[in-house]
Homo-oligomer: A and B are copies of this chain.
Amino acid sequence: MGNCCERARDFFGPQKNTNVRVSLPAVCFVWQIAMIVLFGVFVRYNPESSARWVETRRQLNISSDIENDFYFRYPSFQDVHVMIFVGFGYLMTFLKRYSFSGVGFNFLIASFGLQWALLMQGWFHSLDPATGKILIGVENLINADFCCAGSLIAYGALLGKVSPVQLLVLTLFGVTLFAVEEYIILDLLHCRDAGGSMVIHAFGGYYGLAISWVLYRPNLHLSKRLHGSVYHSDVFAMIGTLFLWMFWPSFNSAITDHGDGQHRAAINTYLALASSVLTTVAISSMSQKRGKLDMVHIQNATLAGGVAMGTSAEFMISPYGSLIVGFCCGIISTFGYLYISPWLERVLKLQDTCGVHNLHALPGMLGGFIGAIVAAAATTEVYGEEGLINTFDFEGKFANRSPGTQGGFQAAGTCVSIAFGLVGGVIVGFILRFPIWGDPADDNCFDDEAYWEVPEDEETLPPVLEYNNHMIHKHQEISESNFSVEQS
C-alpha cells in the first residue's frame, strides 16, 4: 500500500524532466502525417476556390469575379490571422524570460490547431453530402483560426507551467471539444455567435482555467523570480495587445453576413473597445498609489469590450449600446485582475498566468448573456422584416422562432460553452498530469531555458567592454586611494 502510494507519488511526483527530444518530434511528425492522410482522404477545394469556378460562376449567373467570397472576407481573414499569431503570441511575451515560449509555442500550437480545426469543423459544417468531402474556402480558414483561439486562450492560463507536448495535447482536445460545442450551439441550438463570445472566449477561458486548476502547483512560488515582466518585455506585450485591439472589429465581423452584417459588427466592436480603454485606465489608476497605471491592466482589460461584443456585434445593439458594453467590461475585467485573480489563486487554488479569467472567461460569458438579451429585444421596427430574418437566420426549420425564444437559446448556448470548457478542461487536465509530457518542475517555471537554446549573454560585447573598462577604471581609483591591485 505504502509502496503503491510511493509509486503513485513517484509517477505524479516532483522529479520532473523537461527533456522532450523524443516526445516533441514524435508528436509533431505523427500528427502532421496524420493530417496529410486525413486531408488526402477528406479535403478538397470548394467551388469558389476551384479552377472550375469559371463554370460555377456561369451556372450561378454571377456577374463578376469580385463576388467570389474571397473578396468579402480575405481582408478580415488576414486581420484575424495577425491576431492569432502576433496578437496572442506577443501578448504572451510579457514575462521576463518566457518570451521565446510565449510567441514560439503559440506559433506551434496554432499551426497544428488550424489543420485539425479544418477537419473537425469541416466534418460538421462543410461536408459535401454527395462526395463525402470537406470543401474549403476562405471562410473555413477564418473558422480554423477562430477554433485555434480557444486553445490559445487556454494556453494563457498555463503560460510558463507546461511543456510544448502538453500544449499540443491540449490543442488536440481543445479543437475537438470546440468543434463539438460549436456544432451544438450554432447548429442544434441555432445560436448566433459571429465573434465567439460563447464558443471561443467563454469556452477557451473556462477550458484553460479547469486545466490549470487540475495542474495546480503548490510550490510555484519557487519560480517567483521569473514570474514578472521587465521593461522591454512589457513593450513587446503591447504589440500583441494593440494588434488584438485594432483588428478585433475584423474578428467579430469576419464571418457575419455580407453587407450590413460585416459593416455593423465592425462598428460596434470598434466602439466597445474604445470605451473599454477609458474605464480600464480609470480603474487601474484608482487602484494604485499615486494613480499609477499597471501594464497588466492596460495590456489585457482594454480588450474586454471586444470579447464581450463577440455575440452581439452583428445585432442592432446600437452605437451607445456598444459603448455601454465596453464601459462595463473594462471595469469588470480590471477588477478581475485586481481582486478576482488573487482570490481564485488563494481560495480555489487556481493559477492563471495571463488572467484569462478576467479577459476571456468572464467577459465571454457576459457577452453570451448580453447577446441573449439583445436578441430577445429584437423587433421588426428596428431590424425590418427581412433584416430580422437575415440577422438571426430565421429560415428553414427555424422560420417560426421568435426573438424572445432566440434569446433563451442564446443563453442556453452560453451555458453549454461553459460546461464544455469546465468538464473538458478537467478531463484534459488529468490527462496532462501523466508524467510523460516533459513539463518543468515548480522551481523551473516561466523559464525559456527549459525548452530553448537561449543566447548566453543578455547584453552584448560593446557594453561589456565598456563595463570592463569602467570596472578597471574603478579599480584604478581604488588602487590610487592607497592600496595595490595586482590584477583584476
Which residues of the partner chain B approach A435 to less than 8 Å between Cβ atoms?
Answer: none
Contact A479 B483 (CB under 8 A): yes
Which of B96, B100, B478 contacts A478, CB < 8 Å?
B478
Contact A235 B459 (CB under 8 A): no
CA distance A383 to B479 in the complex (A): 81
Does A132 reach chain B (CB closer than 8 Å)? Answer: no
| Interface-facing stretch out of A104-112, A194-202, A366-374, A400-408 | A104-112
| Interface-facing stretch out of A53-61, A182-190, A207-215, A412-420 | A53-61
Contact B484 A481 (CB under 8 A): yes
Which residues of the partner chain B approach A23 to less than 8 Å between Cβ atoms?
Answer: 291
Given contacts A259-B65, A479-B484, contact A54 B386 (CB under 8 A): yes
- A400 nearest CB across to chain B (Å): 19
Contact B320 A458 (CB under 8 A): no
| Chain A 253-276 interface 0/1 with B at a Cβ cutoff of 8 Å (1 = within) | 000001110111011001101110
Given contacts A274-B114, A459-B459, contact A52 B267 (CB under 8 A): no
Does A51 reach chain B (CB closer than 8 Å)? Answer: yes
| Chain A 16-34 interface 0/1 with B at a Cβ cutoff of 8 Å (1 = within) | 0011111111001101110
| Chain A 50-92 interface 0/1 with B at a Cβ cutoff of 8 Å (1 = within) | 1111110100000111111111101110110110011001100
Closest to A39 in B: B320
Contact B234 A82 (CB under 8 A): no
Does A460 reach chain B (CB closer than 8 Å)? Answer: yes
Closest to A276 in B: B111
Given contacts A63-B63, A485-B475, contact A39 B246 (CB under 8 A): no
Which of B260, B275, B318, B475 contacts A68, CB < 8 Å?
B260
Within 8 A of B (CB), among A103-128: 103-104, 107-108, 111-112, 114-115, 118
Which residues of the partner chain B approach A481 to less than 8 Å between Cβ atoms?
Answer: 483-488
Contact A68 B387 (CB under 8 A): no
Closest to A38 in B: B320
| Interface-facing stretch out of A6-14, A152-160, A223-231 | A223-231
Contact A108 B264 (CB under 8 A): no
Does A129 reach chain B (CB closer than 8 Å)? Answer: no
Given contacts A65-B259, A137-B267, A246-B86, contact A51 B324 (CB under 8 A): no
Which residues of the partner chain B approach A111 to less than 8 Å between Cβ atoms?
Answer: 273-275, 277-278, 302
